[in-house]
Structures are given as structure tokens and as C-alpha cells.
Amino acid sequence: LSRRSLGAGDVKLAGALGAVLGAVSWVALPVAAAIAAVVTVALAVVRRSTGGVPHGPGLLAAASLVAVFPGTGGEVGTGT
């Protein structure tokens, strides 16, 4: 919720990870976004800091998780 939490590095990282996740499947994008938000909130709760928590670690964790375990049914070109 803090403006300091989402910096230019997080925005650049989100673009690159979006390209990777888009190659995995279109469904991977919103799934990874939701997982990244949950991870960032969990980090904020653990830290209990008044300052901002960086969103980059959540983005990386979510993208890694979704890219390694892509699931089924949302792949591009499957004809569904």
C-alpha cells in the first residue's frame, strides 16, 4: 500500500517475467500475479514494518513456481 514499495526495478522485472509467463500460458499471468500479491503480503506480515516491502521477491517466487509447475489446460495452441 506504500508508494515506496513498488519501484522502477519491480516494474522492469514484472515486464520480463510477464514475457516468460506468457510463453508458459495465458492463464499463468493472473495466477502468478495473485501468488505474487500473497507472497508480498506474507512478507509484510512477517516483517511487520512500517516501511514498504519490496514486491520483487514475490514476483520472482511466483514466476518461478508457475514456470516450473505450469499445470494443464491453459497452454497456447492446444485447441481448447
- Give the C-alpha separation, 72 to 58, whole Å: 23
Cell of 32: 502468478
Residues 6+ apart with CB under 8 A from 29: 18, 21, 22
- Given a cut of 60, whether residue 74 has pLDDT beyond it is no
Percentage of the chain surpassing pLDDT 70?
Answer: 78
* pTM passes above 0.85: no
- Given a cut of 60, whether residue 75 has pLDDT beyond it is no
Looking at residue 69, what DSSP letter applies?
S
Q: What is the per-residue pLDDT across 10-53, written as a single tens digit (0 to 9) for each?
A: 788 888 998 999 898 888 899 999 999 999 888 888 887 666 77
Question: What does the pLDDT read at residue 34?
Answer: 93
